[in-house]
Amino acid sequence: MKAIKLLMMGPPGVGKGTFGKLLSKEFSIPILTVGDEIRKIAAQESLSQVYIDIAKDVTKGKLINDGLAWAIMIHKLKDLDTSRGFIIDGYPRTATECEIMEMCDFQYDLVVSLKQHEEVIIKKTLARRVCESCGSTYNLANIEYEGHKLPSMKPKVKGKCDNCGGNLITRKDDTRSVIQKRLFTFQVHTLPLEKYFAEKGKLIEFSPYGGVADYPQLSVKVKEKLGLP
């Protein structure tokens, strides 16, 4: 099988990481979550001024510099075994980043754009909990809203990760004001990129109305677009 190179696109909290990990497992290819890598840098105790600025942008829900985002993504991608392909969650985010990809001849096969109602995303994000040790994600909310029916994804033991037993925490940027700012930023800077990818014939859109239960439908769409059995 040829290498499979996917980009995951969508508003914050839509489930890019969750669905990306499912695709990663199915195709046996690594996933790089750019936002997580940026947050790791922002959380370091000893930071240079550049990284201090990144930390400030992250906590305010702002996008970091395009060049820095590209450098972080490429640096982290080199640490992975991409011989079978890769999945990049949350990149590109702006037209400038698309231009950088073009100038550097960065190759990818498909962009998966996930969509959900904004109110659903806000409810999901406010109820999101993340393991501080391994990064596994859970959700405490059971959401039913305008056709969306997303059951909660709670841990077996309250406040503890099923995978490693680590403590579950709320991300610092998972507040209503920051979420709304990030959603606005996505609408202005990232959503317009759909037209760009569609014109290249590399875009599929998917609305997970039932949460992870809808993954088989996404899997079928991805395979069909890639011409896989």
CATH number (domain holding residue 185): 3.40.50.300
Instruction: Provide the domain count of the chain.
Output: 1
Tens digits of residue pLDDT in 115-134: 999 999 999 999 999 999 99
Tens digits of residue pLDDT in 66-76: 988 999 999 99
Residues 6+ apart with CB under 8 A from 79: none
Q: Supply the range of the domain harboring residue 150.
A: 4-226
Mean pLDDT of 21-42: 91
Mean pLDDT of the chain: 92
Closest CA to 146 of 199, 187, 102, 207: 207
Mean pLDDT of 20-49: 85
pLDDT of residue 49: 65
Mean pLDDT of 188-211: 95
pLDDT of 85 above 80: yes
pLDDT of residue 48: 61
Which of 30-34, 37-41, 96-100, 132-136 bottoms out in mean pLDDT, i.e. has the lowest? 37-41
Tell me which amino acid residue 65 is.
N
Closest CA to 19 of 186, 170, 218, 222: 218
Closest CA to 108 of 84, 81, 85: 85
pLDDT band at 36 (very low <50, low <70, confident <90, very high): confident
pLDDT of 209 above 70: yes
pLDDT of residue 47: 58
pLDDT of 102 above 90: yes
pLDDT band at 40 (very low <50, low <70, confident <90, very high): confident
pLDDT of residue 60: 72
Query: Rounded to two decimals, what is the model's pTM?
Result: 0.86
Cβ(5)–Cβ(108) below 8 Å: yes
Tens digits of residue pLDDT in 137-175: 999 999 999 889 999 999 999 999 999 999 999 998 899
pLDDT of 213 above 90: yes
Structure tokens at 38: 């940026």
Beta bridge partners of 33: 89
Mean pLDDT of 187-199: 95
CA distances from 1 to 28, 83, 164 (A): 11, 11, 33
pLDDT of residue 51: 63
